[in-house]
Amino acid sequence: MIVAALYDDRMEPDDPDEVAELVKRAAAGERDAWDALVSRFNGLIWAIVRKHRLRPADSQDVAQVVWLRLLENLSSLRDPSRLAGWLATTTRFECLRVIRLGNRMIPTMEGLWEGAAAPDPSPEEIIATSDHKRAVFEVVGMLDLRCRQLLELTAYQLPYQVISELLDMPVGSIGPTRGRCLERLRELLRAAGISP
């Protein structure tokens, strides 16, 4: 039985006004605002990349081109507070583009992404900053894939329409399924004796 520990550096749900403010500041040239956006949403981009099961080199290309696209579009986003949806949709399109382009004929560029691991780290490879986190991550890993994917996307507060397209699920079923998946995760954590 794992003794509970204080969950000290949890990630808060994204406040849309906060996201809009970060976008505005990044557009004005503030590097720390850009870094904050990357920290918040990098996981989302890679979650979608993993879902499309791209090869490592293609995964890296997609992540890079999505961030670069955002970088030059910071001032032109129609609704900066809905950045999660923009990133998810853009990433999905880039994944589809890569799949359509098919096999590489020319070797790829090395560079910024040297040494980046293949997209599917096992629970042992994931860096957890505390034993408590590692224990929680292991339990989340026990959820079935569908629940894990759904909860991951809802954690970024994506519009249900975007989730529906990404997971090929009817919009109306997202809410109820989310509730069931949350309850399943709650039960798994309870059974493992892990408190928040």
Partner 1 sequence: MSEWSDDELLAAVKDLSGSQAPAGAADAAMELFTWRTVDAELAALMTDSALEAPAGVRGASEARTLTFAAQDVQVVVEITENADSRQLLGQLVPGRPGQVSVRQGGVVRTVEADDLGRFVIDDLGPRGPLSLRCSWNGGSVITDWVLV
Question: At its nearest, how many Å lie between partner 1 and the CB of residue 146?
Answer: 14
Return the residues of window 151-170 that contact partner 1 according to CB under 8 A: 151-152, 154-156
Return the residues of window 82-111 that contact partner 1 according to CB under 8 A: 93-94, 96-98, 100-101, 104-109, 111
**Element containing residue 8 per DSSP (H, E):** none
Burial code of 30-55, b = ≥16 C-beta within 10 A, e = fewer? Answer: eeebbebbeebbeebbbbbbbbbebe
| 133 contributes a contact to partner 1 by CB under 8 A | yes
Burial code of 107-141, b = ≥16 C-beta within 10 A, e = fewer? Answer: eeeeeeeeeeeebeeeeeeeeeeeebbbbbebbbe
Question: At its nearest, how many Å lie between partner 1 and the CB of residue 189?
Answer: 6
Return the residues of window 1-20 that contact partner 1 according to CB under 8 A: 4, 7, 10-13
Stretch that binds partner 1, among 15-23, 148-156, 159-167, 169-177 (CB under 8 A): 148-156
Closest CA to 91 of 56, 58, 126, 57: 58
Angle subtended at Cα 173 by Cα 167 and Cα 175, rounded to the nearest 5 degrees: 100
Question: At its nearest, how many Å lie between partner 1 and the CB of residue 122?
Answer: 10
Show the binding pattern over residues 168-187: x = contacts partner 1 (CB under 8 A), - = does not: --------------x--xx-
Q: How many residues lie near partner 1 (CB under 8 A)?
A: 77
CB 14 within 8 A of CB 84: yes
Return the residues of window 65-84 that contact partner 1 according to CB under 8 A: 65, 67-69, 71-73, 76
